[in-house]
Amino acid sequence: MTQSPAAEVAGGFQPPILTQFSVFLPNRCGMMLDLVGVFAGHALTLAGFSVVDSNDHSVVRLVTSNGELARRLLQRNNMSFSESEVLAVELDAGHTLSEVCRCMLAAEVSIHYAYPLLVHPRGRAAVVIQSDDITLSGQILRRKLFTLLAENDLGDNAPGSAPDSP
């Protein structure tokens, strides 16, 4: 569920943090199809996807609408992966990627990487970011009235967000 600006928990605001899976694949024909096929026909949406390539292997970073199910499916299919925490930030005319970067710079928080989501909740673009401090990044962005997305914003229950393929 999308966090409202007033969302607070004991000890301060806790932003909606997504689980990103970094899947390690050998550089061979058909490996990407095998990975995407792991999620086909299951109750989740492959919402974000980025590939880092080298000569002998690729690292596919991905986020889904159901991290727990994605973890079980990757394990069941003997995929080698690691997990990290990321934020999904909705963008619009008043809340641009440049403004995300400006906010992080002002707080001296480094963005390690960013990539776009495949889904567009409420018809708006969104990016995944990974930073030095995910909780602080979320707090900063919420203070600037950015919308942070949670897992249930990324699936079929989010209007207009389902991509054409798994």
- For residues 150 and 142, give the distance between their C-alpha atoms in angstroms, rounded to a whole number: 13
Of 10 and 133, the one with more pLDDT: 133
Residue 114's Cβ-side half-sphere holds a number of Cα atoms within 13 Å equal to 18
pLDDT of residue 12: 66
- Domain positions in the chain are 18-84, 86-153
Q: What is the pLDDT of residues 102-152, one digit of tens each?
A: 999 999 999 999 999 999 988 999 999 999 999 999 999 999 999 999 999
- pTM reported for the whole predicted model: 0.84
Architecture of domain 86-153: 2-Layer Sandwich (3.30)
With respect to CATH, is domain 18-84 assigned 3.30.2130.10?
Answer: yes
Cα–Cα distance measured from residue 109 to residue 158, given in angstroms and rounded to the nearest whole number? 30
Common-topology check for domains 18-84 and 86-153: yes
